[in-house]
């Protein structure tokens, strides 16, 4: 959420930043509503002062024995009281409207976030690894003989409908091993704190990280009102919701492996084959809560943590900076990691690492006390996939495929598979 004082002080800068995201003249309705709200607050305070003065006069009239004046003033106080209550209600309504308006406006991109209209304008900043050259035409993951016995879309459709999958046997085991490998690496080598969180959250938590009110249709809600998390970003970031921590508490670096749920409302017809885009999937999510002066440095650190997982697995990837037309609602700058999928002959997203500044912290009212004293300040928040487990499984299967239909598995994964090294063409782990 945005600071209304900053908008008042420099509306031109606010509008210029948002125009890079295709949002024009955003400050005008905000400032108009803010002016109306402030006028209502002033009117309520003025009426309250008049009520207080009349109340004192009531006491004086009572003490003097002027019964007629006493009754007149008492009626006036009652009238002022009703007037004040009405004005205060109006001011609260306008304040809520302003909050809702501010919550619906996306974050301001950093100056070095590249301008652009969509994903075609994203900027590649580095590559790692060379895509493997095959002596045969590589298949997509769901076409591989080694994978077919363990990846069942028909049964999943019977159970739950489209965009679900049932994994079994060797494929399920590799999927689980990948998640364990990611967690252990982040905890033991990257100094992240392993955390286990619920996947059902309250409205306030979704508001805190920006999924609500604007993107409710992208998530699932239960009859009881809980939301199924689209990612552990929601729970991990909201650990500091409403808290004021000591500066020495920062940074906090969390990692969690959870089920994630997305309705994919805006992706009809996209990536319907295989398990690239599912309603239910698993992610190992990283979240950092930092001092404002350290958030850009932390963004690069988190990106390296995610890249390191791909490098350990020997998976070629490229890192791109998202342009203003492709960046997420709450992000100021985002690095996407795109892994090479030989079956599709292209790079596909496997991680997004974003720095949000104080945008989420304002929504959550999450602050820290400066060590040298002074007023509490808002923390900065960051989040990133480390990695999407299902997409990593796809990349491992496609990059390790052999002409005989088997799949060679990355050496880094062998310890988590009890020394097993490949999936044979008949689907067994050997």
295 is in an annotated binding site: no
- Residue 160: CB atoms within 10 A of its CB come to 13
36, 69, 194, 349: which is the annotated catalytic residue?
349
383 is in an annotated binding site: yes
20, 21, 252, 262: which is the annotated catalytic residue?
262
391, 398, 406, 422: which is the annotated catalytic residue?
391
Reported as type and span, the H/E element at residue 253 is strand 252-261
* Alpha-carbon gap, residue 304 to 192, rounded angstroms: 13
64 is in an annotated binding site: no
* Alpha-carbon gap, residue 292 to 378, rounded angstroms: 8
122 is in an annotated binding site: no
Under 8 Å between Cβ of 381 and 360: yes
Residue found under tokens 């492709």: 326
297 is in an annotated binding site: no
351 is in an annotated binding site: yes
Three-class HEC string of 53-107:
HHHHHHHHHHHHCCHHHHHHHHHHHHHHHHHHHHHHHHHHHHHHHHHHHHHCCCC
Q: What φ, ψ does residue 243 adopt, rounded to 5°?
A: -100, 150
The three-state secondary structure class of 32 is helix
263 is in an annotated binding site: yes
349 is in an annotated binding site: yes
Distances (CA, A) of 87 to 90, 142, 274, 376: 5, 63, 58, 31
Task: Name, in order, each residue with C-beta under 8 angstroms of 202's C-beta and a sequence gap of 6 or more.
Answer: 225, 226, 227
* Active-site annotation holds for 277: yes
What is residue 130's DSSP assignment? -
45 is in an annotated binding site: no
* Alpha-carbon gap, residue 311 to 304, rounded angstroms: 10
162 is in an annotated binding site: no
277, 318, 348, 362: which is the annotated catalytic residue?
277
Residue found under tokens 């480390």: 386
- How are beta strands 367-369 and 317-321 bridged, if at all? unpaired
* Alpha-carbon gap, residue 22 to 16, rounded angstroms: 10
* Active-site annotation holds for 349: yes
Q: What is the CA radius of gyration of the chain?
A: 28
288, 352, 354, 406: which is the annotated catalytic residue?
352
248 is in an annotated binding site: no
Instruction: Tell me the catalytic residues.
Output: 262, 277, 349, 352, 391
Binding-site sequence positions: 231-233, 262-264, 285, 349-352, 383, 385
Binding-site sequence positions for L-serine: 231-233, 262, 285, 383, 385
Binding-site sequence positions for ATP: 262-264, 349-352
């Amino acid at each position: 959420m945005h600071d209304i004082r900053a908008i008042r002080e420099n509306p031109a800068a606010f509008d210029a930043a948002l125009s890079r995201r295709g949002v024009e003249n955003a400050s005008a309705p905000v400032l108009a509503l803010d002016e109306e709200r402030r006028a209502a607050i002033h009117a309520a305070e003025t009426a309250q002062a008049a009520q207080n003065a009349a109340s004192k006069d009531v006491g004086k009239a009572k003490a003097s024995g002027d019964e007629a004046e006493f009754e007149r003033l008492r009626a006036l106080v009652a009238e002022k009281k009703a007037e004040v209550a009405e004005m205060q209600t109006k001011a609260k309504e306008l304040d809520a409207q302003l909050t809702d308006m501010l919550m619906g406006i996306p974050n301001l991109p950093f100056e070095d976030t590249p301008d652009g209209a969509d994903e075609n304008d994203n900027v590649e900043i580095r590559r790692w690894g060379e895509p493997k050259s095959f002596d045969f035409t590589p298949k997509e993951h769901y076409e591989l003989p080694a994978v077919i016995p363990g990846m069942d879309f028909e049964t999943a459709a019977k159970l739950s409908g489209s965009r679900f999958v049932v994994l079994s046997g060797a494929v399920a085991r590799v999927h689980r091993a990948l998640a364990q490998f990611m967690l252990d690496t982040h905890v033991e080598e990257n100094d992240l704190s392993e955390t286990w969180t619920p996947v059902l959250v309250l409205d306030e938590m979704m508001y805190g990280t920006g999924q609500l009110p604007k993107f409710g249709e992208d998530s699932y809600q239960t009859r009881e009102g809980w939301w199924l998390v689209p990612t552990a970003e929601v729970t991990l970031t909201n650990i500091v919701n409403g808290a004021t921590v000591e500066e020495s508490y920062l940074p906090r670096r969390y990692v969690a492996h959870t089920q994630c749920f997305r309705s994919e409302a805006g992706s009809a017809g996209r990536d319907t084959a295989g398990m690239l885009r599912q309603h239910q999937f698993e992610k190992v999510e990283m979240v950092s809560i930092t001092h404002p002066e350290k958030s850009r440095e932390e963004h690069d650190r988190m990106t390296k943590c995610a890249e390191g997982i791909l490098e350990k697995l020997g998976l070629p990837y490229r890192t791109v900076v998202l342009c203003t037309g492709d960046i997420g609602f709450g992000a100021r700058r985002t690095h996407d990691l795109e892994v090479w999928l030989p079956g599709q002959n292209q790079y596909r997203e496997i991680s997004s690492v974003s720095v949000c500044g104080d945008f989420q912290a304002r929504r959550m009212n999450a602050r820290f006390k400066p060590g040298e004293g002074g007023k509490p300040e808002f923390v900065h928040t960051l989040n990133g996939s480390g990695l999407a487990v299902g997409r990593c499984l796809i990349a491992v299967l496609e990059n390790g495929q052999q002409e005989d239909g088997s799949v060679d598995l990355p050496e880094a994964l062998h310890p988590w598979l009890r020394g097993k090294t490949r999936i044979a063409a008949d689907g067994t782990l050997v």
